[in-house]
Amino acid sequence: MRRTVPLLVAIAVLLVPALAFAGGDADFEEYQARGWVWMYLGSFGAGFLTSLTPCVYPMIPITLGIFGARGKDVSRGRRLLLATAYVFGMGLTYAVLGVTFALLGGRAGALLANPFVVIPIVLLFIAMAASLFGAFELNLPASWQAKLNQVGGKGFGGAFAMGLVGGFIAAPCTGPFLAGLLAFVTTTRDVVGGGSLLFVYALGMGVLFWVLAAAAMSLPKSGRWMDTVKSVGAMLLLFGAIYFLRPLMPWMRTIASPETWFLIVSLSLIPVGLALGAAHLTFHGTLGQKIRKGLGVALVLAGCLGAWTWKLTPKLHLPWVTDEKAAFAQARAEGKGVMVDFAATWCVPCEELELVFGDDEVHAAITASFVTLKLDVTHETAADKQLQENYGAQTLPAVIFMDTSGNVLGRIKTLIEPDEMLEVVRPAARKIRTASQQRAATP
């Protein structure tokens, strides 16, 4: 029985990532619509699924050393306490992240469009990926390793300190849920709610480490399976780098087609890349093997990027006008209203609203009665802030339906479904038509 439990845990750690990816695509907005209890439950569940992804594998050897898994004289109770200290360290890091985003508001998102912030993050992810591919080893200093090997027997401070930095390694696998959670925190500026939601997210990530501490399992010996796991983790890190680069590369928003064939082609690249050796080959083999692996990795990343951008590509595009005066002049000439959409490259809900605008019914309803004005406030200049203040759109997303006299007919402040969008658009459109008919009847 003693050997069975660690074996089952090991199997779960190795096989569950596929299930995690399959079930972890729920957006935070779905839980937000159900209330705070569901938001906390969703945060905990999303954190747990994150802990089962390959991005977390590099943390496991360190945590086993912290929990004293190699020491026979460390009791299970003490290991659990050390794991708790480690998890609470992660929780503090994520809570501070939530509070920071809440206090900065929109400025927090703007940082993710700043090259001086994005480029170092991308380079860090690329370096970590190169390490997992075997280009070099990322090891802690020998003195630190020696202390970590002893921490299981004598200290909780080390476990807590290591937990403070442990959660960042899992960043590329956090998925759309955490992005939505941070968007919620940024727009609401709820310090207590944001900090507590992020803390609960970290507690969900900590479940795996409590299991590791309780089972006191040792890692299986290194081999080809570990090289495969490292390659998968490296590709996830590279995809994370691409994710952060996207706000700096507008062309990435236009490379996909909304047609089904594009998704099929993109998805077909992934098994081809894996068959070539993206996961099971190494860069330490022959020249032919290196070329095969490099080509395989490129195909897997291209397939993932294609599928991701396909998901974010609307079927229809609104005829955007970017000049404020021109939009209102056109609306007066055509007897329409104006739909003002504030957007930024770092605003995830703003981008997802484009999918709602691309819905057949929504697109037809908007274009029939409104001139669409897009105002980009990515860089948050003084002029951008003045525009947001003029329209009462201090937080993103922000969509305002207006008549040409400046009267507000409807507002949207969060990501909504097409049917909810129509509930705002149609009444506003009726008011526009009524006003137009009254003007036409006036002699």
Which residues does 347 contact at the CB level (< 8 Å), separation at least 6?
109, 183, 396, 397
Alpha carbon 375 to chain centroid, angstroms: 24
Q: Judge if pTM exceeds 0.75.
A: no
**What is the domain partition of the chain in residue ranges?**
4-248, 249-313, 324-441
The model's pLDDT over 105-152, given as tens digits with 9 standing for 90+, comes to 656 566 666 788 778 878 877 887 887 787 766 554 555 555 544 544
Which residues lie across from 376 on neighbouring strands?
Answer: 343
The model's pLDDT over 270-325, given as tens digits with 9 standing for 90+, comes to 999 999 999 888 888 889 999 999 999 999 999 999 998 898 889 899 999 999 99
Length of the chain as a residue count: 443
- Look at residues 308, 279, 306 and name the one whose alpha carbon lies nearest to residue 293: 279
Q: Which two three-digit tokens encode residue 185? A: 């925190």
Q: Which two three-digit tokens encode residue 133? A: 């591919």
Q: Which two three-digit tokens encode residue 353? A: 């609203």
The model's pLDDT over 173-226, given as tens digits with 9 standing for 90+, comes to 555 566 667 767 766 677 888 888 888 888 888 887 777 777 655 555 556 777
Handedness of CA 281, 252, 54, 128 (dihedral sign): positive
pLDDT at 100: 78
How many CB atoms neighbour CB 7 within 10 A? 13
The model's pLDDT over 70-83, given as tens digits with 9 standing for 90+, comes to 445 557 777 778 77
- Look at residues 416, 414, 396, 400 and name the one whose alpha carbon lies nearest to residue 186: 396
Residue 24: pLDDT above 50?
Answer: no
Strands (E), 300-430: 337-343, 370-376, 398-402, 408-412
324-441: CATH homologous superfamily? Answer: Glutaredoxin (3.40.30.10)
